[in-house]
Structure 1
Amino acid sequence: MQSGITRVMGQFGAGAVPAVGSSTCSTELDDLRAEVRQLREALAYRAVIEQAKGVLMAVHGCTAEAAFQILADQSQHTNTKVREVAQQLMDSVRGTSAPTASRWPRRR
Structure 2
Amino acid sequence: MRQAVDSHAKGDQAIGVLVAVHRIEPAAGVEMLREVSQHTNVRLRPVAGMVIDWALGEFLPPSVGRELEAALRRRVGAGDDSDQPG
TM-score normalised per structure 1: 0.58
Corresponding residue of 1:41: 3
Corresponding residue of 1:88: 50
Aligned length: 70
1:45 counterpart letter in structure 2: S
Could you say which structure has the larger radius of gyration?
1
TM-score normalised per structure 2: 0.71
Cα separation, 2, equivalents of 1:98 and 1:76 = 17
2:22 counterpart letter in structure 1: H
Corresponding residue of 2:68: 104
Cα separation, 1, equivalents of 2:34 and 2:20 = 17
Cα separation, 2, equivalents of 1:53 and 1:102 = 17
- CA RMSD for the aligned pairs? 1.5
Displacement of 1:50 in angstroms is 0.5
List gaps (5 residues or longer) in structure 1. 1-38
Change (3 A) 1:102 1:63: closer
Greater relative contact order (Cα < 8 A, sep 6+): 2
Change (3 A) 1:44 1:91: same
Identity over the aligned pairs, expressed in percent?
36
Displacement of 1:104 in angstroms is 3.0
**What secondary structure is seen at the aligned counterpart in 1 of 2:69?**
coil
Contact 1:89 1:99 in 2 (8 A): no
Contact 2:36 2:68 in 1 (8 A): yes
Report 1:6-85 matches (<5 A). 39-85=1-47
List gaps (5 residues or longer) in structure 2. 74-86
